[in-house]
Amino acid sequence: MIGRQYFTRQAATLLMFAQSTTSPQLAAVLTVKAADLKSQLDKSTRPDLSPLAPDVEPESSPLTAGY
């Protein structure tokens, strides 16, 4: 399953292309597509399935749950 990080990168790429183009129409379309991706992420109730760095523990770690 694709994680939130993937969609975030896709939206950032669309915005980068929108800034680099000389076509106002293309820039508008790319910006709208990026906003749609962000909107979908905001509506999503699924947890973030992006891989964690090796030194990061999940928030619900049993080691920190009692503190």
pLDDT digit string (tens) for 18-50? 999 999 999 999 999 999 988 887 776 566 666
| Predicted pLDDT at 17 | 95
**pLDDT of amino acid 43:** 75
- Mark 22-32 as b/e (b = at least 16 C-beta within 10 Å): eeeeebeebbe
Give a yes or no: residue 38 inside a domain.
Answer: yes
Average pLDDT, the chain: 79
Query: Is residue 64 domain-resident?
Result: no
Q: Does some domain include residue 56? A: no
Answer whether residue 3 is part of any domain: yes
Residue 37 lies in a domain: yes
- What's the pTM value of the predicted model, to 2 decimals? 0.60
**Residue 57 included in any domain:** no
Domain of 9, in residue numbers = 1-43
Residue 57 reports pLDDT greater than 70: no
Structural domains in the chain (count): 1
The answer to the question of residue 67 being in a domain is: no
The first and second tokens of residue 43, run together, are 């509506």
